[in-house]
């Protein structure tokens, strides 16, 4: 029995027959190597132990959490959560706790990554740094290894383990920066050489940028930018809670996107990372969100599924995390196309190449109109080739329209886990050529 399984069992024993309860624990290690000016300057490691408890007293519901996993710490968590629940009004939409389930037959754990020490991460950093001779590099390499478990008073017991490795960095000239990123289940999956080469090439090409006029441009978006689009569409459109509240753009079965766009969430995809179950102990399965341009499904947890007279899709998030505990995707894939990124660029007569977006904020959740900036690699495309750098641009664009029917000129075959707005390692995306994107000004406004 893992420590996580033992902790959730202890909590339920403390609760006893005083209440219905569900408890989730994550135990493991997160280790980080940071570098700047092409030198490692920090190694830190954090032993993680997070326990999350939900209590129901006849439909009066409260949740609490602790990082103190001593008997006293767990006892305090139970007592204060029960007290909090007793002070609540009855929650009419509380779906209860699910009964027994079978554990998914998937193990997303890499032993070498779980055992990785600072020297192992330093080798990855060195490869990235050496790919940019004459430039200054900065960034981080992180390894994570977790054991998770969930148990409740309705008889549900489920557990799993996962690892993740992330490299995120930039190469810098005296005036410019270019980004590179790689993520995978294991440290051995990190493409440090290609990430470093990409970052250094973007930094060198970015020198002597010129201003360009705002307006509608064709764009080629790199995987990071496409991953940001996928995250915003997921959070504001495919979110079952938003749909129930009339805030989603989705009409199930309606074609809103180009037929070349496929979007799905799948823990069983060979490249997936993370836990095979959600915060309510529901096993995950593949869920299609865009199929040939239309939306057949939404993302639900137990509560939003009940309200929608549907069922959970295994996407419950722990309260207090991203999107305030609303149902959320964790293994989101934009389906790969058939073209190289160079071939996508070759299709553009005059347009903009965008490496990453920065500081994106939604202006209208119902239409997913988002404003943000380009960053660390923005280039002019003329007659099918990149001809030079342009200064960073502000955009205001509906992400629905960006992937709308007829607006997608092609999808790349270069999909990878990309570092988007929320966190790395949750969206796998390729590059894409979009026929229209609305740039509204420079970085200053």
CATH number at 22 reads 3.30.2290.10
pLDDT at 443 over 80: no
Q: Say whether both 283 and 196 belong to one domain.
A: no
pLDDT at 89: 96
State pLDDT tens for residues 5-63.
Answer: 999 999 999 999 999 999 999 999 999 999 999 999 999 999 999 999 999 999 999 99
- Note the pLDDT of residue 387: 97
- Same domain? For 296 and 280 the reply is yes
* CA 43/CA 14 separation, integer angstroms: 38
Cα–Cα distances (Å) from 36 to 133, 168, 335, 366, in that order, read 15, 12, 35, 41
Asked if 145 and 224 sit in the same domain, the reply is no
pLDDT (0 to 100) of residue 326: 84
The pLDDT, as a whole number, for residue 319 is 66
Question: Does 402 score more than 80 pLDDT?
Answer: yes
CB 420 within 8 A of CB 332: no
Query: Which pLDDT score is estimated for 308?
Result: 94
Q: Are residues 130 and 249 in the same domain?
A: no
Q: What gap in Å lies between CA 130 and CA 366, rounded to an integer?
A: 45
Paired tokens of 269: 């995809």
Query: Within this chain, do residues 23 and 106 fall inside the same structural domain, yes or no?
Result: yes
Claim to verify: residue 80 and residue 224 sit in the same structural domain: no
**Helix, strand, coil tally for the chain in percent (to 5):** 25, 40, 35
Mean pLDDT of the chain: 95
Name which of 27, 53, 67 is nearest 147 in CA terms.
Answer: 27
Output the pLDDT for position 230.
Answer: 97
Contact yes or no for 124/190 (Cβ under 8 A) = yes
Which pLDDT score, from 0 to 100, does residue 320 have? 39
pLDDT at 323: 38
pLDDT tens, position by position, 172-188: 999 999 999 999 999 99
**Residue 325, phi-psi category: left (phi > 0), alpha (psi -120 to 50), beta (remainder):** left
Q: Are 200 and 128 in contact (CB under 8 A)?
A: no
167 and 246 in a single domain? The answer is no
Per-residue pLDDT tens for 307-364? 999 999 999 998 633 334 689 999 999 999 999 999 999 999 999 999 999 999 999 9
% residues pLDDT > 90 (the chain): 94
Query: Are residue 251 and residue 176 in the same domain, yes or no?
Result: no
Q: Please provide residue 404's backbone torsions phi and psi, each rounded to the nearest 5 degrees.
A: -70, 170
Tell me: do 172 and 261 sit in the same domain.
no
CA-nearest of 262, 223, 209, 437 to 341 is 223
Last residue of a domain, one of 202, 224, 251: 202
Q: How many Cα atoms within 13 Å fall on the side-chain side of residue 386?
A: 23
| Domain containing residue 316 | 208-445
Angle, CA 146 vertex, CA 182 and CA 288 arms, to 5°: 60
Residue 193 Rama label (left phi>0; alpha psi -120 to 50; beta): alpha
* Shared domain check, 172 and 300: no
DSSP string spanning 258-320?
-TT--EEE-TTSTT--S-SB-TTSPBP--EEEEBTTB----B--HHHHHHTTS---S----TT
Q: Is the per-residue pLDDT at 372 higher than 80?
A: yes
The mean pLDDT of 373-396, rounded to a whole number, is 97
Tens digit of each residue's pLDDT (9 = 90 or more) over 76-124: 999 999 999 999 999 999 999 999 999 888 999 999 999 999 999 999 9
Regarding whether 197 and 324 lie in a shared domain, the answer is: no
Q: In a 10 Å sphere around its CB, with 0-12 CB exposed, 13-18 middle and 19+ buried, how is residue 2 labelled?
A: middle
CB 412 within 8 A of CB 344: yes
Q: What is the pLDDT of residue 445?
A: 59
More confident residue, 425 or 153: 153
Residue 444 banded pLDDT, cuts 50, 70, 90: low
**Of 183, 202, 221, which residue constitutes the final position of a domain?**
202
Using CA atoms, how far apart are residues 350 and 379, in angstroms rounded to an integer? 11
Q: Is the pLDDT of residue 423 over 90?
A: no
Average pLDDT of span 394-400: 98
Residues 211-233: tens digit of each pLDDT: 999 999 999 999 999 999 999 99
User: How much of the chain, in percent, has pLDDT values that exceed 70?
Assistant: 98
Residue at which a domain ends, from 186, 202, 218: 202
Its sign, for the CA torsion 70, 72, 73, 79, is: positive
Whether residues 187 and 225 fall in one domain: no
What's the CA gap between 123 and 128, in Å, rounded?
9
Over range 142-171, report the average pLDDT: 97
Give dist(CA 49, CA 30) in Å, integer: 11
Number of domains in the chain: 2
């Amino acid at each position: 029995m893992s420590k996580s399984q033992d902790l959730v069992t202890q909590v339920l024993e403390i609760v006893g027959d005083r209440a219905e309860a569900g408890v989730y624990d994550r135990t493991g290690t997160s280790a980080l190597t940071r570098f700047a000016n092409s030198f490692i300057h920090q190694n830190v490691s954090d032993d993680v132990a997070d326990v999350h408890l939900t209590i129901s007293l006849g439909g009066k519901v409260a949740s609490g959490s602790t990082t103190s996993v001593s008997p006293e710490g767990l006892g305090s968590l139970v007592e204060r959560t029960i007290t909090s629940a007793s002070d609540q009004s009855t929650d009419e939409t509380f779906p209860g706790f699910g009964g027994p389930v079978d554990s998914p037959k998937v193990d997303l754990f890499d032993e070498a990554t779980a055992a990785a020490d600072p020297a192992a991460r330093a080798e990855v950093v060195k490869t990235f740094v050496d790919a940019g001779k004459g430039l200054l590099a900065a960034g981080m390499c992180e390894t994570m290894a977790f054991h998770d478990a969930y148990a409740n008073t309705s008889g549900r017991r489920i557990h799993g383990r996962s690892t993740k490795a992330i490299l995120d960095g930039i190469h810098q000239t005296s005036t410019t920066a270019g980004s590179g990123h790689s993520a995978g289940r294991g440290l051995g999956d990190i493409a440090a050489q290609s990430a470093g080469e990409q970052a250094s090439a973007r930094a060198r090409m970015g020198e002597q940028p010129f201003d360009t006029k705002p307006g509608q441009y064709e764009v080629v978006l790199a995987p990071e930018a496409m991953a940001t689009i996928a995250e915003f569409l997921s959070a504001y459109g495919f979110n079952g809670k938003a749909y129930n509240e009339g805030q989603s753009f989705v009409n199930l079965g309606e074609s809103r996107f180009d037929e070349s766009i496929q979007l799905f969430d799948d823990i069983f995809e060979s490249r997936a990372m993370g836990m095979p179950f959600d915060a309510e102990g529901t096993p995950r399965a593949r869920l299609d969100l865009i199929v040939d341009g239309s939306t057949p499904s939404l993302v639900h947890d137990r509560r939003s599924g009940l309200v929608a007279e549907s069922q959970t899709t295994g996407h419950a998030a722990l309260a207090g995390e991203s999107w305030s505990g609303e149902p959320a995707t964790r293994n989101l894939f934009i389906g790969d196309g058939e073209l190289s990124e160079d071939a996508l660029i070759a299709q553009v007569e005059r347009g903009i190449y965008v490496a990453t977006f920065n500081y994106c904020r939604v202006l209208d959740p119902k239409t997913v109109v988002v404003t943000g900036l380009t960053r660390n690699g923005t280039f002019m495309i003329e007659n099918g080739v990149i001809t030079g750098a342009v200064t960073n641009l502000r955009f205001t664009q509906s992400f629905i329209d960006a992937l709308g029917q007829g607006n997608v000129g092609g999808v790349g075959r270069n999909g990878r886990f990309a570092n988007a707005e929320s966190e790395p390692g949750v969206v796998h995306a390729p590059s894409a050529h979009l026929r229209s994107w609305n740039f509204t000004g420079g970085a200053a406004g």
